[in-house]
A and B are shown apart, each in its own frame.
Chain A
Amino acid sequence: MELKTVGTAGTLESSDIMITLEPAQSGGIEIVSFESSVMNQYGRQIKAEVLASLDRLGVKNAKVTVNDHGALDCTVKARVECAYYRGCQCDVDGTYPWGGVIR
Chain B
Amino acid sequence: MRNAVGREIPDELLKSDLRNGKGYEVYQGKGYRDGKYIKKQGPTTRIYQKPTESKILPSIREAVIKSGLKDGMTVSFHHHFRDGDFIVNMVMKEIVDLGIKDITIAASSLGTAHDPIAEYIEQGIVTGIQTSGIRGKMGEVVSQGKLKTPAILRSHGGRVRAVEEGDVHIDVAFIGAPTADEYGNARALGGKSDCGVLSYAVVDSEYADKVVVITDTLVPYPNFPASIHGINVDYVVVVDAIGEPKKIASAAARMTQNPRDLMMAENVAKIMTATPWFKDGFSFQTGAGGPSLAVNRFLEPLMVEKGIKMAWAIGGITGSICELKEKGLVGKIIDVQDFDTSAINDIRNNKNHYEMTASEYANPANKGAFVNKLDFVVLAALEVDIDFNVNVITGSNGVLRGAPGGHPDTAEGAKCCIIVTPLTRGRMATICEKVVTVTTPGDCVDVVVTDYGLAVNPKRQDIIECLDKAGVKHVPIKELQEKAYSMVGRPDDLQWEDKVVAILEARDGTILDVVRKIKPCEI
- Give the docked Cα–Cα distance between A39 and B522 (Å): 9
Contact pick for A72, options B397, B488, B491, B495, CB 8 Å: B488
Q: Are A73 and B489 in contact (CB under 8 A)?
A: yes
Count the A-B residue pairs with Cβ separation under 8 angstroms: how many?
Answer: 51
Q: Quick check: B426 and A43 within 8 Å, CB to CB?
A: no
Main secondary structure of the interface of B (DSSP, over half): loop
Please report which residues of chain A, range 35-55, place their CB below 8 angstroms from some CB of chain B when the two chains form the complex. 37-45, 47
**In the complex, what's the smallest C-beta–C-beta distance from B469 to chain A, in angstroms?**
38
Q: Judging by beta carbons under 8 Å apart, are B523 and A42 in contact?
A: no
CB-based contact B426/A41 at 8 Å:
no
Nearest chain-B residue to A31 (Cβ)?
Answer: B523
CB distance from A76 to the nearest CB of B (A): 10
Q: Is the CB of B428 within 8 A of A44?
A: no
Given the complex, which residues of A lie within 8 Å of B488, measured CB to CB? 42, 72
Indicate if the CB atoms of B427 and A70 lie closer than 8 Å: yes
Contact (A70, B523) CB under 8 Å given A40-B396, A40-B492, A42-B489? no
Interface residues of B in 414-440 (CB under 8 A from A): 425-428
Known: A69-B426, A70-B426. A40 touches B397 (CB 8 A): yes
* Minimal Cβ-Cβ distance residue in B for A13: B426
Using Cβ atoms and an 8 Å threshold, which residues of chain A touch B521? 39-40, 43
Query: Is the Cβ of A40 less than 8 Å from the Cβ of B428?
Result: no
B487-A40 in contact (CB<8A)? no
Query: For the complex, is B518 an interface residue (Cβ under 8 Å from A)?
Result: yes
A82 on the B face (CB < 8 A):
no
Contacts of A34 in B (CB 8 A): 523
B426 touches A44 (CB 8 A): no
Minimum CB–CB distance from A42 to chain B (whole Å) comes to: 6
Interface size classification for chain B: 10 to 19
Contact status of A42 and B487, CB under 8 A, knowing A14-B426, A47-B523? no
- Evaluate contact between B427 and A40: CB separation under 8 angstroms: no
Max chain B C-beta neighbours (<10 A), residue from A39, A40, A44, A70: A40
Let me know if B398 is at the binding interface, CB within 8 A.
Answer: yes
Q: A41 to B395, alpha carbons, bound, how many Å?
A: 11
Query: CB < 8 Å: which of B427, B487, B495, B518 contacts A38?
Result: B427
Q: Does A15 contact B (CB under 8 A)?
A: yes
A71: CB under 8 A from chain B? yes
Whether A44 lies near B427 (C-beta < 8 A) is: no
Instruction: Tell me, yes or no, whether B90 is within 8 Å of chain A by CB.
Output: no
CA–CA, A97 and B328, complex, Å? 63
CB within 8 Å of A: which of B354-408? Answer: 396-398
| In the complex, chain A residues 8-46 whose Cβ is within 8 Å of any chain B Cβ | 14-15, 34, 37-45
Interface centre among B398, B487, B492, B494 (most CB of A within 10 A): B492
Q: Which residues of A contact B427 (CB under 8 A)?
A: 15, 38, 42, 70-72
Interface residues of B in 491-518 (CB under 8 A from A): 491-492, 494-495, 518
Rounded to whole angstroms, the CA-CA distance of A15 and B398 in the bound complex is 19
Identity of the chain A residue whose Cβ is nearest the Cβ of B396 in the assembled complex: A41
Query: What distance in Å separates the Cβ of A64 from its nearest Cβ neighbour in chain B?
Result: 12
A41-B523 contact in complex given A70-B427, A70-B428, C-beta closer than 8 Å: no
Inter-chain contacts of A15 with B (CB < 8 A): 426-427
Residue of chain B at shortest CB distance from A36: B523
Q: Which of B397, B425, B492 contacts A45 (CB 8 A)?
A: B492
* In the complex, chain A residues whose CB is within 8 Å of the CB of B426: 14-15, 37-38, 69-70
* B491 contact set on A, CB distance < 8 A: 41-42
A69 to B425: give the CA distance in the assembly, Å: 11
Complex Cα distance, B523 from A73, in Å, reads 17
Instruction: List the B residue with the shortest CB-CB distance to A15.
Output: B426
Which A residues have a C-beta under 8 Å from some C-beta of B? Answer: 14-15, 34, 37-45, 47, 69-73
Q: List 6 A-B contacts (CB under 8 A).
A: A34-B523, A38-B396, A38-B426, A40-B495, A69-B426, A73-B489
Other than A40-B495, A41-B491, give 17 A-B pairs with Cβ distance below 8 A: A15-B427, A37-B426, A38-B396, A38-B428, A39-B397, A39-B521, A40-B492, A40-B494, A41-B492, A42-B427, A42-B489, A43-B492, A43-B523, A47-B523, A69-B426, A70-B425, A71-B427
